[in-house]
Amino acid sequence: MNYKKLITLLAINLVLLSKPCFAQRQVQDYTYQYEKYRTSYDEYTVAKNEFLKQKTLTSQKDALDKTKAIISQRAQTLRVYLMALKYSLNTTAGIANEDKIRLSANLDEEIGWLQNHIDDITGMNNPTLTDLFEISSRLERKKNQYIILSHETVAHILIGRLRQLNQEYSATNSVLQPLVDKYKNSFIKNWYDQSVDMTFRCDQSITNALVIAQELKKTNDENAASKSLVSIKNELGNGKQLLKDGVGYQQEILKELNKILPKASDKNASASGGNQ
């Protein structure tokens, strides 16, 4: 049952995206199914050990029942995870439309496959251990595929989130620009130039992440996919830090403008009074 590692890995991905990508309902659904999986796994382990120790018909039946239950719950947990991932994908701004359509279709295909797999397991009457291992192996053969699909989807969600943040940050610079040009303060101009530079540098981090995402898309190796996701997160982490630094420059600009703007207002008021 090496799929327990996969379930845990996907749970980590969920935590990574849960702020704020997943709606609360999706988080709760997955958490509920994940806890059921953990309980089923513990029950399966106990039943298996009891059968190996006692070798009775009763312990054998219990082991078969618990094996069937864990195989079904494993598929259900993965299915709910992929549904939550699809929701996050479709509700995240900043993702290229072609990537969103492609990944959403891939997720739909696997969600449907998992539902059929669950139906096949549920429909088994008095299965033998060989029957259960055979049907279990169908999902196990898709392990690499699910890890790669999950990592690629998570990567594009994270890229989309940073791209959206950068667009919002850039929009703030656009609002500040007329004031910076108007008052021609050297300190303010320097901070503004630094702030604008953060936008371009963040764009470069996003571009770097997209290049790695293209490599991830082509790979069939789960270890390579995991390394690519780590590299993407590092690039995006750098980009996010650049925006944080840029916000600091924007705040300095606003502080300095707050000192200048009242004086400008006073001059306007004085000029108006002198004309009366």
148 domain-assigned = no
122 with 225, same domain: the answer is: no
**Distance between CA atoms of residues 81 and 211, nearest Å:** 26
Q: What is the pLDDT of residue 185?
A: 86
Residue 27 pLDDT exceeds 90:
no
pLDDT at 16 over 50: no
- Is the residue at 210 inside a domain? yes
Q: Is 271 among the domain residues?
A: no
CB burial string 14-52: b at 16+ within 10 A, e below = beebbeebbeeebbebbeebbeebbebbebbeebbebbe
Residue 206 sits in which domain range? 156-263
Judgement on whether residues 252 and 165 belong to the same structural domain of the protein: yes
Higher-confidence position of 242 and 274: 242
With both helix axes pointing from N to C terminus, report the angle between 57-91 and 97-122 in degrees, rounded to the nearest 10. Answer: 160
**Do 135 and 161 share a domain, yes or no?**
no
Of 141, 164, 191, which marks where a domain is finished? 141
Pair 134, 9 in one domain: yes
Contact, 67 vs 48, CB < 8 A?
yes
Assess whether 209 and 259 both reside in one domain.
yes
pLDDT for position 217: 93
C-alpha torsion sign, points 163, 169, 174, 180: negative
Give the separation between CA 112 and CA 53, rounded to whole angstroms: 39
Global confidence as pTM:
0.84
**For residue 262, is the peptide bond before it cis, meaning its omega torsion is within 30 degrees of 0?**
no
What's the pLDDT tens digit per position in 115-148? 999 999 999 999 999 999 999 999 999 999 999 9
* Nearest Cα to Cα of residue 193 among 183, 182, 180, 205: 180
| Overall domain count for the chain | 2
